[in-house]
Structure 1
């Protein structure tokens, strides 16, 4: 494990210095606390496995050159081989760096330096009747050559990828996030639910979502609204919104795990689970912006790719039996429903 003498996980990387308004520090403290809470909840429901805890650093925080493409560090927490969870990760990263030409061209970023801090998780249960889940919440700042903030935005969301469809689970998951969003504006859940359906979608296979959706939003800029973001938030209100949505993850997901973890399953069920996991891999490596951003900004590859499931299948032209439970799930992935 790399020693992290200069990097303090509860703070913005020392190389950056304190922010003028203290906002970066507050956001970082929140995601690190959330990481601890989520890991504790997942360990409790698993009952056997415990998260490993790896802290990493890069650039000046790791004793390397201040001119390295990226600076900062993070905390990678991985769970494997549990009673319930085959593989999962709950990661935080607090990183910053110079805007490179590749970032300008590939990501449309225009500025001198950038800062990003977020939490990202993916959980792959062993039992095919327990849904996989993914969630992340992030905050980004862009600076000019004098170090002034010229742009800042939030992004986040959570989605559910079942292998067998239980409609009550889908309604529960979606309902939790609708409950979190409605106090900030009744227009938000429908907008961000639809965005999730459109985003977590293997477009190269036609319209085939990787699961039954959830909520998703990106580039939520304080003070701005429009077609994608129907409500304009102040910076503080945006933080409140992020916190409210993120804190719904545990009550949205854990009851589903508790309900399905002891369901008996067969080799046929596992086979289908691995086929659908293949679709998950396709999305993450072809379409996911977070994966592409991490790889293009000299991110930590092991942490970025922790989202991939341990066992998958890529059978040629696999088709479920008509009328089967597997076909029912596939139909739900191809035809989004209003769950809440």
Structure 2
């Protein structure tokens, strides 16, 4: 859609035109000899059509402010995470509502949408679906928070190489989208993704640091190698559009990051994980993050559809609950995002702990039988494989 502002001596009016041919045809009507001042104001159609209905909730920053400065990465990223949230929730709801109820005891559930604010600055939107037919628990959260960076969070960042000075007055801005999807059927894997943007400003010397982080990873309970290969290939394709070395680098980082040290096993079959990305420049780094986010739905929804109608046994369900226990252990003990949230004043703990499953289980000294499908999965979790 194109809008043309036409200024004449008598009046100013706006004409809505469609397509370049129509634009040229309409402009030609004014003729070359007429004393007209033609000012063309062109917007991409998706920019002109953005409104509050484009998202799951009202934006945290007023929408008119977000659209007023196209150069601000803070504003661009908030619009980005709001869109990712809406797209993913929409796709999950479509799957939840389909006639695919292998478990006839549960009805379709809908997302509960909570928009919240933070006294210290910012807020978020939490979308949570619980006790559904397909998804036992699914959460897709966005947060836009800012304020003074506390000492524990600053120390955590310094340990990763951020050159903050001791006792510096640090202001931070953090914006991200985070999701964990726990299906009911053990044949369907759990999915996690998170994409985020950070800014930290040292008020004492006005020095500013920025970086992106994120990733997508999958945790199956019953291993299907074709599904895992599809998942990894889709993520690799997203990486290869930007740098052929990214997939292998970030796949390895994912295997290392989602490792449960005290269990000596990975949480799942990996995917992508990256942090502190501040190169080659801000635009290209953001473009890479957007490509990874665009891969979320195509890497996961086909896997859900392939498995949602498969039958499962009581022992399959018990195994799923045990593996969910491992998920809880990782998130509460090791996960960097969880720890950052818990030490940030004014954090919304309900949203931080949204990643935990509705039901999990711990069993004393449990070990799968050698040669079983559970044991087959454990071999992969103990020694991560190359899938593509």
Q: TM-score range by the shorter chain?
A: 0.7 to 0.9
Q: Displacement, 1:10? A: 5.4
1:259 corresponds to: 306
- Deviation by residue 1:46-92 (Cα, 9 ceiling, x = unmatched): 11221110000011xxxxxxxxxx42100000011211000010000
User: How far apart in 2 are the matches of 1:311 and 1:318?
Assistant: 18
Find 1:218's aligned residue among 234, 254, 275: 275
> SS of the counterpart of 1:184?
coil
Q: Displacement, 1:183? A: 1.6
Q: Structure 2 unaligned runs (5+)?
A: 1-56, 98-107
Q: Say which one has the larger Rg.
A: 2
Q: How does 1:195-274 map to 2 (within 5 A)?
A: 195-206=253-264, 208-222=265-279, 233-274=280-321
Q: How does 1:37-52 map to 2 (within 5 A)?
A: 37-47=87-97, 48-52=108-112
User: How far apart in 2 are the matches of 1:147 and 1:28?
Assistant: 27
2:368 corresponds to: 320
Give the conservation status (yes or no) of the 8 Å contact 1:12–1:28: no
Query: Could you tell me the TM-score, scaled by structure 2's length?
Result: 0.77
Is the counterpart of residue 153 in structure 1 residue 211 in structure 2? Answer: yes
Give the conservation status (yes or no) of the 8 Å contact 1:131–1:163: yes
Is the counterpart of residue 311 in structure 1 residue 339 in structure 2? Answer: no
Find 1:297's aligned residue among 305, 319, 344: 344
> SS of the counterpart of 1:292?
helix
> SS of the counterpart of 1:181?
helix
Q: Displacement, 1:8? A: 6.0
Give the conservation status (yes or no) of the 8 Å contact 2:201–2:208: yes
Bigger relative CO (Cα 8 Å, ≥ 6 apart): 1
Find 1:104's aligned residue among 148, 154, 173: 154
2:225 corresponds to: 167
1:229 corresponds to: none
- Deviation by residue 1:153-201 (Cα, 9 ceiling, x = unmatched): 0001000000010000100000101000102111100000000000001
Give the conservation status (yes or no) of the 8 Å contact 1:13–1:95: no
Q: Structure 1 unaligned runs (5+)?
A: 1-6, 60-69, 223-232
Give the conservation status (yes or no) of the 8 Å contact 2:60–2:123: no
Structure 2 CA distance for partners of 1:268 and 1:8, relative to 1, 3 Å: closer
Structure 2 CA distance for partners of 1:55 and 1:334, relative to 1, 3 Å: same
Q: Displacement, 1:23? A: 1.6
Structure 2 CA distance for partners of 1:13 and 1:71, relative to 1, 3 Å: farther
Find 1:26's aligned residue among 76, 85, 89: 76
User: How far apart in 1 are the matches of 2:134 and 2:207?
Assistant: 44
Q: CA RMSD in A?
A: 2.2
> SS of the counterpart of 1:121?
strand
Query: Could you tell me the TM-score, scaled by structure 1's length?
Result: 0.87
- Deviation by residue 1:130-150 (Cα, 9 ceiling, x = unmatched): 000100000000112169451
1:55 corresponds to: 115
Q: Displacement, 1:205? A: 1.5
2:126 corresponds to: 76
Give the conservation status (yes or no) of the 8 Å contact 1:10–1:32: no
User: How far apart in 2 are the matches of 1:71 and 1:273?
Assistant: 39
Q: Displacement, 1:326? A: 0.4
1:132 corresponds to: 190
Aligned length: 312
- Deviation by residue 1:275-330 (Cα, 9 ceiling, x = unmatched): 10010000000000000000011321000001001111111110001100000011
Structure 2 CA distance for partners of 1:196 and 1:23, relative to 1, 3 Å: same
Is the counterpart of residue 285 in structure 1 residue 295 in structure 2? Answer: no
Q: Displacement, 1:19? A: 7.6
Q: Displacement, 1:21? A: 3.9
